Amino acid sequence: MPHVSVIVPAFNNRQTIGLCLKAIRDSHFKDYELIVVDDGSQDGTSLIAKEYADKVIIFDKHQGRNYARQSGVQSAAGEIIVNIDSDVLIQPDTLSKINDFFSRHQETDALTGLLSKKHSNKNFFSLYKNFYMHYIFEKLPEKVTFLYGSIYALRRACAVLSNLDSEKGEDTELGQTLFSSGREIAFLKDLEVVHLKKYSFFSFIKNDFLIPFSWALIFIKNKGWRQLFRNKTGFAHSPKEQILSVVLAPVCVVLSFVGLFQQNLLWPCLNLYLAWIILNSGFIYFLVKEKNLLFGGLAFFVTFFDHLVMAAGIVCGLGSALTKKRVFSKV
């Protein structure tokens, strides 16, 4: 029986699934099985998967990523369950690092990694999103309260994905569930993967609205205010600086509008803008070093707009969560 089971959920990923599975097959570590769950794809994803995988589970219709992962877990034989998204490339030593870490740290129940700075899509929003995620994750502590869907691993006893409500942010919810039950999740900064996802302006905005929306639901469900600014971070993988920036951005906009009629608010408003700039100066400097001054300058305005989008997602998510609570309390 294999010691490690690698599960790759896929849905219409013909363009990336072959690259993903080949990268897994190129691993130095060989004591593993590779399971692909084709979640109702219509583009021939399963045909490519059969060239690489030990098992291919095919759904007649789209069931959602949670259900696909659960089916993979049920078919897995390994003691360590590794999840890799179908648009992700792992390094040849990734599985070795995961196996070795679990062997040396018996107290660890799960672990997760981060995105590499490398990215095959060179358009602005793909590069920006990749850099943003890398920069934020680099600030995380060694023990975290979430899992990152692109790459994470669990001991078999923790791999039952149940009672997960959201399709977006379900990995964070699973991590929160593990953390709340006293499980230990390690964050490995040297466990880097390459994300092949390509973002347009609209997919970028959509993603950065839906993820905070789901996070708000997770925050309420898991009483996230008890974790806020503890565990050496903000909440889940969001550092303090990001949370404060997302709060400040809409406040600045509102005060700017009100300041047109109440001029005594202009100085407080300018101070808040300055605070936002200070909180995000490290990220902008990082982008200037990695790319150039023009990229960093454009990213400055995109970051502010993105924080407004995130704030809108959070507000809508909180509203949805509170509305559901009121509805259920009347039943």
Q: pLDDT tens, position by position, for the chain (331 residues)? A: 789 999 999 999 899 999 999 999 999 999 999 999 998 888 889 999 999 999 999 998 888 888 888 889 999 999 999 999 999 999 999 999 999 999 999 999 999 999 998 888 889 999 999 999 999 999 899 999 999 989 999 998 887 654 455 556 788 888 888 998 899 999 999 999 999 999 999 999 999 999 999 888 888 888 888 888 887 888 888 889 999 999 999 999 998 888 777 777 778 889 999 999 999 999 999 999 999 999 999 999 999 999 999 999 999 999 887 776 544 344 3
- Measure the CA–CA gap between 172 and 178, rounded to whole angstroms: 10
Contact, 299 vs 144, CB < 8 A? Answer: no
Contact, 238 vs 296, CB < 8 A? Answer: no
pLDDT for the residue numbered 328: 38
Domain spans in the chain, listed from the N-terminal domain onward:
4-198
Beta pairing class for 55-58 and 185-195: unpaired
Domain spanning 4-198, CATH class: alpha beta
The two three-digit tokens of residue 53, written as one number: 């995988």
Reduced to 3 states (helix: H, G, I; strand: E, B; else coil), residue 289 is helix
Q: Determine if residue 111 is left, alpha or beta; phi over 0 gives left, psi from -120 to 50 gives alpha, anything else beta.
A: beta
Contact, 273 vs 183, CB < 8 A? Answer: no
Contact, 52 vs 23, CB < 8 A? Answer: no
pLDDT for the residue numbered 121: 86
Reduced to 3 states (helix: H, G, I; strand: E, B; else coil), residue 324 is helix
